[in-house]
Amino acid sequence: MAIEQFIDNEVKNNDVVLFMKGTPQFPMSGFSGQVVQILDYLGVPYKGLNVLENEDLRNGIKSYSNWPTIPQLYVKGEFVGGCDIVREMFQKRELHDFMKQKGLPVKESA
């Protein structure tokens, strides 16, 4: 399967996907770690894909989104953004509202 097909399949078949450096249990960059903390705080179930395990995936996701940096967050097939955008949306409570609008379970305390 071509990497573009793999990425497209992951994005379309998982409600929330985070392309990141490392894993949700062990992020390998501060930026990936920040997004993991935000998603964990919101209590949203998500799939983390480690781009460090596969050079094709690391380069392919950048082409797929036309976005040069990692992490990259996708919700219901839609590219949300990288760490700065996710953090800003979280701080303004926009991310919480966005997740709820998409029909995803979010901790009410978040």
For Cα atoms 106, 47, 43, give the angle at the middle one, nearest 5 degrees: 20
CATH number at residue 51: 3.40.30.10
Predicted confidence at residue 87, as pLDDT, reads 98
- Which positions of the chain have pLDDT values less than 50? none
Instruction: Please give the Cα distance from 68 to 46 (Å, whole number).
Output: 22
Do the bridges between strand 47-50 and strand 16-20 make them parallel or antiparallel, or are there none, so unpaired? parallel
Predicted confidence at residue 108, as pLDDT, reads 76
User: 110 in a domain, yes or no?
Assistant: no
Predicted confidence at residue 93, as pLDDT, reads 94
Tens digit of pLDDT for each residue in 82-93? 999 999 999 999
User: 42 in a domain, yes or no?
Assistant: yes
Q: Does the pTM of the predicted model rise above 0.85? A: yes
Instruction: Please give the Cα distance from 43 to 69 (Å, whole number).
Output: 24
The count of domains in the chain is: 1
Domain extent at residue 97 = 3-101
